[in-house]
């Protein structure tokens, strides 16, 4: 089942996978901002026991693409999610937010919505200061030459051949983590809106210059009173150290680290990933 829903700013596309059961549905929030849902397709495997709901946030994928930058705020994306839940008449539900989707899920949870039962923060971006601190540390794992080329880019903004090679290595090590690009990732890349990403975040994963440059949910994470599962890859740009920090701030949280993965354990360790999600969701509902 799929269709479109009118939200603040335009129409967003959604898809519901699976039949209604006695298990609660899970809403999946993609990353970016502006990187549509396709790459999260493995989560469909949960649909044998509960409905899995995907949607493309306004501006990317199969949703409308307005060009008004006033729409690209955390508050509007939260309002968008609330409208989707209202229109689909979801009385109780879980939310999984991946990367930027975790920030959106966290901001939504802070509104204390009645139907929210649990959260899964997957490879989570929850704080720009934490993210940038980790990015600096991960950059220092590259060769000295590549570190210098990245620092030079941060100063002059010129993409030299050396910088592009350094960026490629960073992305390969801490984001992709797979040898061959999955078809789902290619589809997401085709539907990506880089204008939103650049406006809200910046030019690259390790340089925040957009409207999210001061974004930080950590002072309020203790206000989230539902159960939370934090997951990431051992070599994730959303690092295990960051997850431990978030866990200590949350009311009720568990951590799962995928030992062979970077920023996409749902693609690189699919079976273990789905098993982990199943166990958590069943536990919360028991």
Per-residue pLDDT of the chain (286 residues; tens, 9 = 90+): 999 999 999 999 999 999 999 999 999 999 999 999 999 999 999 999 999 999 999 999 999 999 999 999 999 999 999 999 999 999 999 999 999 999 999 999 999 999 999 999 999 999 999 999 999 999 999 999 999 999 999 999 999 999 999 999 999 999 999 989 999 999 999 999 999 999 999 999 999 999 999 999 999 999 999 999 999 999 999 999 999 999 999 999 999 999 999 999 999 999 999 999 999 999 999 9
CATH number of the CATH domain containing 77: 3.40.50.1820
- Strand locations in the chain (E): 2-7, 10-17, 26-29, 52-55, 93-98, 116-122, 227-233, 253-258
φ/ψ of residue 161, rounded to 5:
-60, -40
Domain that holds residue 187: 2-128+181-285
In the residue annotation, 252 being an active-site residue is answered as: no
Q: Which of 94, 263, 264, 266 is catalytic?
A: 263
Q: 3 by DSSP, 3-state: which?
A: strand
Q: pTM (2 decimals)?
A: 0.97
Would residue 144 count as lying in a domain?
no
Catalytic residue from among 56, 63, 99, 149: 99
189 located within any domain: yes
Query: CB within 8 A of 104, min separation 6: which ones?
Result: 29, 57, 74, 77, 78, 81, 97
Report CA-CA distances (Å) from 16 to 26, 141, 200, 201, 253.
Answer: 10, 41, 28, 29, 27
Is 263 one of the catalytic residues? yes
The tokens for 277 are: 């999600």
Radius of gyration of the chain (CA): 18
Domain assignment of residue 46, yes or no: yes
- Supply the pLDDT for residue 59: 98
Evaluate whether residue 215 is within a structural domain: yes
Residue 239 lies in a domain: yes
**Is 237 a domain residue?**
yes
Residue 169 lies in a domain: no
pLDDT (0 to 100) of residue 241: 98
How many domains does the chain contain in total? 1
Write down the catalytic residue from 94, 227, 236, 266: 236
Any domain includes 159? no
């Amino acid at each position: 089942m799929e269709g479109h829903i009118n939200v603040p700013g335009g129409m967003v596309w959604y898809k519901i996978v699976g039949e209604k059961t006695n298990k609660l549905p899970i809403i999946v929030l993609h990353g970016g901002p502006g990187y549509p849902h396709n790459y999260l397709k493995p989560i469909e495997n949960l649909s044998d026991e509960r409905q899995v709901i995907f949607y493309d946030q306004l501006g990317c994928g199969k949703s409308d693409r307005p060009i008004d930058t006033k729409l690209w705020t955390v508050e509007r994306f939260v309002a968008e999610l609330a409208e989707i839940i209202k229109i689909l008449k979801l009385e109780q539900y879980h939310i999984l937010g991946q990367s930027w989707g975790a920030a959106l899920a966290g901001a939504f949870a802070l509104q204390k919505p009645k139907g929210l039962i649990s959260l899964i923060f997957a490879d989570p971006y929850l704080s720009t200061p934490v993210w940038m601190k980790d990015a600096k540390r991960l950059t220092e794992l590259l060769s000295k030459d590549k570190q210098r080329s990245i620092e030079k880019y941060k100063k002059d903004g010129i993409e030299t051949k050396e910088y592009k090679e350094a960026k490629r290595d960073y992305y390969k090590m801490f984001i992709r983590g797979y040898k061959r690009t999955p078809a789902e990732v290619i589809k997401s890349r085709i539907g990506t809106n880089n204008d939103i990403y650049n406006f809200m975040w910046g030019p690259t994963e390790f340089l925040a210059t957009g409207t999210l440059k001061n974004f930080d949910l950590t002072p309020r994470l203790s206000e989230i009173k539902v159960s939370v599962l934090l997951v990431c890859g051992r070599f994730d740009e959303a690092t295990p150290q960051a997850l431990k920090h978030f866990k200590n701030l949350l009311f009720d949280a568990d951590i799962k680290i995928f030992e062979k993965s970077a920023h996409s354990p749902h693609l690189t360790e699919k079976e273990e990933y789905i098993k982990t999600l199943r166990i958590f969701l069943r536990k919360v509902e028991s």
